[in-house]
């Protein structure tokens, strides 16, 4: 799998690359704003495919437990709103 996501934090959009085998998922995430770190995820997809639960790791010292929920929102509209808030309204 590959694609982009919009996190609900100040880092915003990130690229994803990974694989899904049955209910198991593993992927890496790299933020477009700060691509210094690659975050590795491994987890399990719920039966209804609306929830992922698992672990994340940046390096051997930074790791934790995380989860993700499917959103029915218009993510392109959300991304456009996010980007417009980051850009100055005028350059004068």
CA distance 41 to 66: 9
Strands 24-31 and 51-59: unpaired
Domain residues for the domain of 62 are: 2-86
Other beta carbons within 10 Å of 85: 7
Give per-residue pLDDT as tens, 7-51: 777 778 889 999 999 999 999 999 888 777 789 999 999 998 888
Rounded to two decimals, what is the model's pTM? Answer: 0.67
Cβ(62)–Cβ(76) below 8 Å: no
Whether residue 91 is contained in a domain is answered as: no
39 within domain boundaries = yes
Which of residues 30 and 81 earns the better pLDDT score? 30
Count how many domains the chain has. 1
């Amino acid at each position: 799998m590959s694609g982009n996501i919009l996190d609900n934090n100040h880092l915003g959009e990130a690229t994803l690359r990974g694989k899904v085998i049955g209910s198991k998922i593993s992927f890496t995430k790299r933020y477009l704003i700060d691509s210094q770190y690659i975050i590795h995820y491994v987890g399990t997809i719920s039966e209804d495919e609306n929830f992922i639960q698992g672990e994340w790791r940046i390096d051997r010292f930074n790791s934790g437990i995380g989860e993700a929920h499917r959103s029915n929102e218009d993510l392109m509209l959300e991304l456009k709103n996010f980007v417009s808030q980051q850009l100055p309204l005028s350059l004068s």
